[in-house]
């Protein structure tokens, strides 16, 4: 970042805490400053970063500029009739929920953590437990403000639709989103009515999900992925919907007896910073899985949960990612078509056989895809696994699973990836070339880049040593730039 | 980029004909069809190893000119090597064993060894470090030696050159903390390569492939010092603390 001198060289890593890289971080407070940053980025380009909850290297840009969007926050406009809210892209879902739940509104889609920005959620086209019912977040976005190297523009599903859909799921590589207009969901209470059941094995689980998911807005299964053999895939399935006032016990409904829309998230525990490296080892993974399974009810109906406990259970432990120790962990999440559920079984079998058990394994059914070129969700089964780095067999095993996923017509989630082989991206995302053309049009000099895009070669037109044009089209020399933290 | 599991995709070898350097390049780059750049003082002689790397699975292999002795050319030459794209790992493998007896007779022989192994390598390491700092990531692997851990009477010219380089590289690594770049210092014992051809193997000897495996593991685990074989670390702790009168008389 030239001129304003506001850049600060910092090491950045993703949520998985795997290798960090250094970049010059700028933190704009106003949308206009984003434009300045985009225009001023040099040869190593720039990318936006939200709250850094992507697991891998999507929000990093080694040696270049990273635009920290968390300084650009706030509700810009809200229409209480239509539920349309316009928010600054750095606003977190946490902040939105605090402001909107008491007014009777909920975000249309939330990932498993509320500590993500709206911009980051759009860039990954995130899905929630309601994907089978409501699709991913881009379905509920009516408009975006996007800053590109050739200038800022407003895009929508019916206005520059190709740019809109290249951006939704485009991992920040079309430019910086500064503002998002979302259609919110009206709720009448801040509680969720939840049904819980246990499934004995994977077939049982999938059958229950196929038969019953349509009755629920939200559905997700936690799999005990340490168990082998016949009960492989035994699981706890939780499904539910926002509670209506009638679902609440009579005494809570009486006027004056507490607010139906009360919302009070608070982080209860913090994982201590001294947590020994590798606390989560195969043995502890086994114990955790066993304990969780045993404590879950065989079957329970109509239980009332708070929003944080149902949607964001992991947020109750701050910095829980530290538990995996200094070497960090990778998250492996893939989706395969409805008929390829066997890949889920094979993945679980191979990981347990190779003694790489996951601490968290989540299965969900996806509904319809959005037209996003690089959007991850498509109809079928998705499995997400947290895998501590360390077992020597892990890299090769995940490479093998990638092959199965590709052969089944599936893909892995780029927001969670940190280790995919570049040559598989095009097979997983068949519209990659179409997306690349849109990027090249928006950013002919390949200014928008990230560690993810370099590692996977997502934008082959972006070369490190390329000179770039200014916004007025004149060329700028590839002068050698001084290296170091403070550049005037 | 080094990925989340520590796998890298591009490797530069300075002293590109080095058996150890080539083994490291093969180990790191071949499984993922990565990119390798071999830089040495005679690029023609690098065609054959380049071909072998391709056959072993490397995606692209380029060759280039790099002379450790010609320090004036280092900044330009190394900038040019990085111009073709980021390099995840740079291996500094250039080195000569030298002839100890000749060096004791003719100081100019000693100066040549010191110039290549210490001065030339230090200069190249600084140029690489500057590029790694600018790209915000990457690992410089420096081939030191147990010979530098406690310099012995029988090869003190080589040993002193490695002792100097070792200390230089460790502190260079310290200077890079926070930059995204790192230095890994490798201290092999006797390795059976061209450099040691014709010499009788000694205890704790290893192969170039074993050195490569140890370097791979160090990169994945974020280790900064590697002994090959690992047992040399405790062995050298003992040797380092022997009284000089005793150390002098050991048949090392
Ligand atoms: C505990 C946990 C649970 C999760 N559960 C889910 C889940 O259920 N479903 C799901 O889909 N994902 C889930 N995720 C992943 C997470 O939702 C996504 O990675 C999301 O993108 C993170 O948002 P962020 O604000 O932290 O963005 P970052 O991680 O900082 O960035 C992610 C990407 O968005 C881009 N980006 C960020 N802001 C902008 C902007 N303003 N303009 C343009 N691009 C931008 C970045 O360049 C990067 O490519 C989970 C993550 C965690 C840690
Ligand atoms: N082998 C061992 O027992 C052992 C033990 C500990 C440490 N090491 C160290 O490991 C490194 C690699 O050694 P190796 O065993 O692989 O030996 P090697 O095969 O002989 O490799 C040494 C390489 O250095 C190159 N070189 C020498 N002077 C150079 C210069 N001025 N400029 C550029 N390149 C130059 C040589 O190139 P040419 O082909 O042009 O001569 C040769 O390719 C060396 O630093 C060595 O000191 C080796």
Residue B162: inside a domain: yes
The H or E element containing residue A11 is strand A8-12
Q: Which of A307-311, A351-355, A435-439 has the lowest mean pLDDT?
A: A351-355
pLDDT score for A5: 45
Kindly tell me if the per-residue pLDDT of A273 is higher than 50: no
Domain that holds residue B238: 10-247
B184 CB within 6 A, ligand 2: no
ipTM for this prediction: 0.92
* Neighbouring residues of A361: CB distance < 8 A, sequence distance ≥ 6: A222, A223, A224, A225, A348, A383, A384, A385, A386
Residue B2: inside a domain: no
Q: Which residue has the higher pLDDT, A167 or A315?
A: A167
The pLDDT tens digits for B106-130 are: 999 999 999 999 999 999 999 999 9
The H or E element containing residue A267 is none
pTM, rounded to two decimals: 0.92
B94 CB within 6 A, ligand 2: yes
Mean pLDDT value across chain B: 96
Q: Determine the residue of B20, B118, B128 to mutate for testing ligand 2's pocket, defined as the one with the most ligand atoms within 8 A of the Cβ atom.
A: B20
Looking at the structure of chain B, the number of domains it has is 1
User: Relative to the alpha carbon of B155, which ligand is closest?
Assistant: 2
Active site residues of B: 158
Residue B64: inside a domain: yes
The pLDDT tens digits for A23-68 are: 999 999 999 999 999 999 988 999 999 999 999 999 999 999 999 9
Q: Residue B82: give its domain's CATH number.
A: 3.40.50.720
- Residue A230's pLDDT band (cuts 50, 70, 90): confident
Sheet holding A21-26, edge to edge: A8-12, A21-26, A65-68, A46-49
B19 Cα–ligand 2 center, Å: 8
Domains of chain A with bracketed CATH: 191-419 (3.30.70.2520)
B98 CB within 6 A, ligand 2: no
Residue B225: inside a domain: yes
Residue B5: inside a domain: no
In this structure, are residues B157 and B114 in contact, taking their beta carbons and an 8 Å threshold?
Answer: yes
User: What is the full DSSP assignment across A448-472?
Assistant: B--HHHHHHTS-TT--TT---B-TT
Kindly tell me if the per-residue pLDDT of A322 is higher than 90: no
Rounded to 5 degrees, φ, ψ at B156 are -75, -20
Write the CA distances from A234 to A229, A289, A290, A298, B183, integer angstroms.
10, 11, 11, 12, 46
pLDDT score for A313: 86
pLDDT score for B251: 81
B222 CB neighbours in chain A (<8 A) are: 326-327
Mean pLDDT value across chain A: 87
Percent of chain B past pLDDT 90, that is, above it, reads: 95
Kindly tell me if the per-residue pLDDT of A287 is higher than 70: no
Residue B3: inside a domain: no
Helix residue spans in A249-408 (DSSP H):
250-253, 282-295, 307-311, 342-353, 394-407
C-alpha span between B45 and B64 (Å, rounded): 11
Name every protein residue with a CB atom under 6 angstroms from any ligand 1 atom: A 15, 47-54, 58-59, 69, 89, 111-113, 116-117, 119-121, 123-124, 126-128, 171-172, 176-177, 314, 415, 450
Q: Return the SS3 of A351.
A: helix
The mean pLDDT of A439-466, rounded to a whole number, is 87
- Residue A292's pLDDT band (cuts 50, 70, 90): low
Q: What is the dihedral of CA A230, A233, A235, A241, to 10 degrees?
A: -140
Q: Which of A176-180, A377-381, A467-471, B145-149 has the lowest mean pLDDT?
A: A467-471
The pLDDT tens digits for B67-90 are: 999 999 999 999 999 999 999 999
B75 CB neighbours in chain A (<8 A) are: none
């Amino acid at each position: 970042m030239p001129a304003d001198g506001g850049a600060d060289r910092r090491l950045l890593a993703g949520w998985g805490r795997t290798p960090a890289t250094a970049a010059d971080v700028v933190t704009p407070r106003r949308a206009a400053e984003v434009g300045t940053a985009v225009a001023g980025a040099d040869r190593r380009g720039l990318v936006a970063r939200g709250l850094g909850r992507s697991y891998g290297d999507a929000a990093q840009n080694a040696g270049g500029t990273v635009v920290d969007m968390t300084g650009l926050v706030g509700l810009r406009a809200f229409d209480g009739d239509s539920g349309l809210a316009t928010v600054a892209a750095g606003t977190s879902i946490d902040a939105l929920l605090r402001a909107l739940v008491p007014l009777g509104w909920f975000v249309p889609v939330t990932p498993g953590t509320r500590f993500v920005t709206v911009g980051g959620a759009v860039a990954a086209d995130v899905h929630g437990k309601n994907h089978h019912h409501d699709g991913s977040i881009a379905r509920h976005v009516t408009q975006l403000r996007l800053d590109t190297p050739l200038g800022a523009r407003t895009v929508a599903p019916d206005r520059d639709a190709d740019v809109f859909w290249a951006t939704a799921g485009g991992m920040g590589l079309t430019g910086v989103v500064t503002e998002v207009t979302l259609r919110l969901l009206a709720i009448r209470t801040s509680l969720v009515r939840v049904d819980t059941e246990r499934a004995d094995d994977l077939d049982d689980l999938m059958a229950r999900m196929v038969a019953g998911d349509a009755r629920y807005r939200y559905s997700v299964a936690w799999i005990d992925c340490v168990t082998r053999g016949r009960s492989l895939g035994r699981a706890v399935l939780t499904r539910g919907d926002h509670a209506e006032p009638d679902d609440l016990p009579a005494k809570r409904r009486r006027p004056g007896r507490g607010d139906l829309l009360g919302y009070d998230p608070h982080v209860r525990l913090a994982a201590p910073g001294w947590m020994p490296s590798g606390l989560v080892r195969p043995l502890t993974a086994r114990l955790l899985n066993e304990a969780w399974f045993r404590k879950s009810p065989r079957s329970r109906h109509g239980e009332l949960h708070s929003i944080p406990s149902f949607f964001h259970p992991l947020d109750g432990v701050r910095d829980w990612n530290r538990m995996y120790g200094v070497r960090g962990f990778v998250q492996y999440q893939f989706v395969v078509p409805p008929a390829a559920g066997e890949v889920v079984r094979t993945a679980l079998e191979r990981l347990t056989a190779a003694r790489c058990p996951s601490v968290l394994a989540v299965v969900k059914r996806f509904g319809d895809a959005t037209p996003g070129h690089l959007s991850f969700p498509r109809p079928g089964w998705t499995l997400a696994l947290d895998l501590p780095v360390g077992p020597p067999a892990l890299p090769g095993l995940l490479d093998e699973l990638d092959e199965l996923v590709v052969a089944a017509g599936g893909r892995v989630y780029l927001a969670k990836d940190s280790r995919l082989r570049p040559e598989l991206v095009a097979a997983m995302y068949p519209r990659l070339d179409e997306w690349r053309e849109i990027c090249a049009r928006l950013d002919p000099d390949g200014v928008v880049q990230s560690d993810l895009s370099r590692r996977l070669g997502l934008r082959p037109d972006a070369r490190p040593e390329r000179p770039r044009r200014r916004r007025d089209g004149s060329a700028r020399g590839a002068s050698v730039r001084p290296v170091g933290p403070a550049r005037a | 980029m080094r990925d989340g599991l520590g796998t890298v995709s591009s490797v530069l070898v300075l002293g590109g004909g080095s058996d150890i350097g080539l083994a490291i390049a093969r180990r790191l780059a071949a499984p993922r069809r990565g990119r390798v750049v071999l830089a040495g003082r005679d690029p023609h002689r690098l065609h054959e190893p380049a071909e072998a790397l391709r056959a072993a699975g490397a995606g692209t292999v380029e060759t280039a000119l790099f002379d450790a002795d010609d320090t004036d050319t280092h900044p330009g030459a190394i900038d040019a090597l990085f111009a073709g794209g980021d390099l995840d790992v740079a291996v500094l493998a250039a080195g000569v064993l030298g002839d100890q007896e000749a060096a004791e007779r003719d100081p100019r022989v000693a100066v040549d060894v010191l110039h290549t192994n210490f001065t030339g390598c230090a200069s190249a390491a600084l140029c690489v470090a500057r590029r790694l700092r600018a790209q915000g990531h990457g690992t410089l692997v420096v081939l030191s030696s147990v010979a530098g851990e406690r310099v012995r009477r029988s090869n003190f010219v080589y040993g002193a050159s490695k002792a100097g380089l070792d200390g230089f590289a460790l502190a260079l690594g310290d200077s890079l903390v926070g930059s995204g770049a790192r230095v890994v210092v490798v201290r092999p014992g006797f390795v059976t390569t061209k450099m040691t051809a014709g010499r009788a193997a000694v205890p704790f000897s290893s192969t170039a492939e074993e050195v490569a495996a140890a370097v791979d593991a160090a990169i994945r685990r974020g280790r900064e010092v590697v002994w090959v074989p690992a047992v040399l670390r405790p062995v050298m702790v003992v040797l380092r603390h022997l009284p000089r009168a005793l150390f002098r008389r050991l048949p090392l």
